[in-house]
Structure 1
Amino acid sequence: MTVVSVDKDVEALSLTVVAEFDADVKRVWRIWEDPRQLERWWGPPNYPATFETYEFTAGGKAAYYMTTPEGEKPRGWWKFTAINAPDRLEFDDGFADEQGAPMDEYGVSHAVVKLEPIGERTRMTIVSNFESEQQLQQMSEMGMEEGLREAIGQIDALLAEPANA
């Protein structure tokens, strides 16, 4: 399995996922930079993502939905707060209504993604920070940990393809 560890830290209001891949940092960066590649892994296998907007620049926004097995389309949004190619990006993350407007009821989390070389491999660390213990618990109950584990588990197959695939 690609995921090395998942750590929920209630005191720090964070969820940290560490994964390692048989590809260099620049190749792993492409799965974040290219929305078509991101769509192939950003949801668990039975919840594929579709990015309708993807402005991969600091201050840029992303809007997406995941299609459930029942055909429902829960929506989400990101606002990129920092991008330092090819090894770090940060974004605010939240749920959206059917029109794509942010929904306040689930709050906003902030994700920091770091890519670092370990020999010819890459370690990817994703740290999601939450506004409150209640929000962290709510996301856990909604399956965030397992969903991330399953989504990241799809990356190896994608990385085995040419970078421009």
Structure 2
Amino acid sequence: MAITSIDTDRDALTITLVADFTVSQQRLWDAYMDARQLERFWGPPTWPATFTQHDVRVGGRTSYHMTGPEGEQSGGYWEFVTINPPHSFEVLDGFANPDGTPNADMPSMRMLLEFSEQTTGSRLTVTTTFDSVETLDQLLGMGMVEGTREAMGQIDDVVADDSVPEAARTTHLQLLGDTQARVTRFFEMNIDDVWRAHHDPGLMRQWMLGPEGWVLSVAKIGERPGDTYRYEWESETGEPGFGFTGEVLESHAPHREVNTERLIGAQGPGTLNAMNLVEVAGGTLLTLVITYPDAEMRNEILETGMADGMEASYARLEDLFRQAAA
């Protein structure tokens, strides 16, 4: 990457950064759509970022924190204002409190990212607009330009690494902090079909089966906030069945759904599940962030082979649509 310019215009209240890359516009765009890739370059090397939410839609929200050398953390958020894939998106960019809410004591700004094709690859133009000269000077004094330069210096290695998007072709599991896990899976399907597959009981009974020998016997769907859902599985070999129930908290078809989940018959708190879908080259990227009440429950559930069961179902789903298209 070559940063060709960083210009500060105090009259226009803007800082504009232009950088050129040797990869395609789409590849660069996709790096910003995937939280796993984005967190590898959003923070400077000494303050790496962790993205706990990446809701890429107008009105959607991205939440992250950067962790310093001594373990100290600084939170941030984006609120998406416009999105024009794969050409541009604009966000309100601000600082966040530890609970993720906007930090009213710190400044916010608008950030427009524009992606364009070039004869040698692609160009990224980032225009940050401030609400006053005082805010601009405050961010400059905090090292914004230097930090941005260091962070963007990492993008080349990320976009040159095809192992990250390739890993998502099967269920990829990562731990986030002490109580969260992030599941990522790429589907060679359009976003509407992936959403429909999670909300059509007939389709769900064909793919949401987990390991061989199980059937989804109950599929009561929740579609709107406040709705409850219930899924139950039965074993064809006589093993005890199980199921999950919960409440839909958010639903923004076909991009995001948030729900509670608990094992039917179990005591105590369950989990909070946030699913996001975003279109990338060749299909749709699913990201599921699961928040557990504590690390002990998270580890117990993951040790049951949850990710393997999810992959068996996801692979079945992709095969189902591949056969239908043949």
Q: TM-score, normalised by structure 2?
A: 0.49
* 1:1-165 correspondence to structure 2 within 5 Å: 2-162=2-162, 164-165=165-166
**Over residues 13-54 of structure 1, what are the superposed CA-to-partner deviations in whole Å (9 max), with x where a residue is unaligned?**
111111000001000001111111000000111110001111
Query: Which SS does the other structure have where 1:146 is aligned?
Result: helix
Higher RCO (Cα < 8 Å, 6 or more apart): 1
What's the CA shift for 1:106?
2.1
Amino acid of the structure 1 residue aligned with 2:159: L
For the residues of structure 1 that align with 2:118 and 2:39, how far apart are their CA atoms?
A: 26
Q: What are the ranges of 5 or more consecutive residues in structure 2 without an aligned counterpart? A: 167-326
What's the CA shift for 1:161?
1.4
For the residues of structure 2 that align with 1:85 and 1:2, how far apart are their CA atoms?
A: 23
For the residues of structure 2 that align with 1:22 and 1:101, how far apart are their CA atoms?
A: 37
For the residues of structure 2 that align with 1:104 and 1:137, how far apart are their CA atoms?
A: 18
For the residues of structure 2 that align with 1:128 and 1:104, how far apart are their CA atoms?
A: 19
For the residues of structure 2 that align with 1:44 and 1:74, how far apart are their CA atoms?
A: 12
For the residues of structure 2 that align with 1:63 and 1:17, how far apart are their CA atoms?
A: 23
Amino acid of the structure 2 residue aligned with 1:103: N
* Percentage identity across paired residues of the two chains: 41
Q: TM-score, normalised by structure 1?
A: 0.96
Number of aligned residue pairs: 165
Contact 1:13 1:131 in 2 (8 A): yes
For the residues of structure 2 that align with 1:99 and 1:24, how far apart are their CA atoms?
A: 37
For the residues of structure 2 that align with 1:158 and 1:95, how far apart are their CA atoms?
A: 25
Query: Which SS does the other structure have where 1:74 is aligned?
Result: strand
Contact 1:2 1:156 in 2 (8 A): no
Bigger radius of gyration among the two = 2
Contact 1:106 1:135 in 2 (8 A): no
Amino acid of the structure 1 residue aligned with 2:134: Q
For the residues of structure 2 that align with 1:83 and 1:33, how far apart are their CA atoms?
A: 11
Query: Which SS does the other structure have where 1:50 is aligned?
Result: strand
Amino acid of the structure 2 residue aligned with 1:112: L
What's the CA shift for 1:70?
1.3
Query: Which SS does the other structure have where 1:7 is aligned?
Result: strand
**Over residues 53-85 of structure 1, what are the superposed CA-to-partner deviations in whole Å (9 max), with x where a residue is unaligned?**
110111100110000111101100110111111
Instruction: Give every structure 1 segment of 4 or more consecutive aligned residues whose post-TM-superposition deviation is greater than 3 Å.
Output: none
Amino acid of the structure 2 residue aligned with 1:127: T
Q: What are the ranges of 5 or more consecutive residues in structure 1 without an aligned counterpart? A: none
For the residues of structure 2 that align with 1:46 and 1:2, how far apart are their CA atoms?
A: 21
